[in-house]
Amino acid sequence: MNRVVHPIEVESYRRLRARLDTSHFPTLTRAVVERVIHSAADLDYATDLVMTEADLEKAHAALHAGAPVVVDVEMVGAGITRRETVCRLRDAVAGPGLTRSAHAIRLAHEQVGPGALWVIGNAPTALEELLTLDADPALVIGLPVGFVGAVESKAALRESGLPAVSNVSEKGGSAVAAAALNALLYHPTSAEEKL
């Protein structure tokens, strides 16, 4: 991917690295941590995020091989650059015991099937619903924000054993969820590194 990095972003990363040493993180973990911190100007994400390099490597390969990207809300999709996303929230309806966000996840699962990257930055109920499905994801970026259900849904994601990026606190949101996916999207593949 040919991406022109704006000088403001270069300076932002320079200042971030001057305030926080991220050199001990493995390559893709570092990319995700730095991009999330950059998106939120919140250094605490360095110790709040939870992920494994092995999961990120597999997700990176799947993403660059064209795996679908599903988002819980259009705001997450708007933050993901240079990649089409699937968001079914406009088609979803709430019902007894089912939020619109959860229904949208069901609809998206029916559409994309296994192997997708799921990016959830808004609704804990979307993440909870995803965990009930046999989605077989390439990765779940589970970073919903809020005081009700966010911490619990992210803990359930980590306990599920699915390949994931999550965080421990109530923090999260559309911008950081999109940033985590963009970190993988922007990071070159081995073929691109040779160019």
Residue 150's Cβ-count burial label (10 Å; 0-12, 13-18, 19+) is buried
**What is residue 63's DSSP assignment?**
H
Question: From CA 21, how far away is CA 30, in angstroms rounded?
Answer: 10
| Cα distance between residue 16 and residue 108, in whole Å | 36
Contact call for residues 130 and 152 (beta carbons, < 8 A): no
What is d(CA 41, CA 175) in angstroms, rounded to the nearest whole number?
Answer: 11
Which one of the listed residues 6, 24, 38, 109 is annotated catalytic? 38
Query: Is 38 assigned a catalytic role?
Result: yes
Catalytic residues, which ones? 38
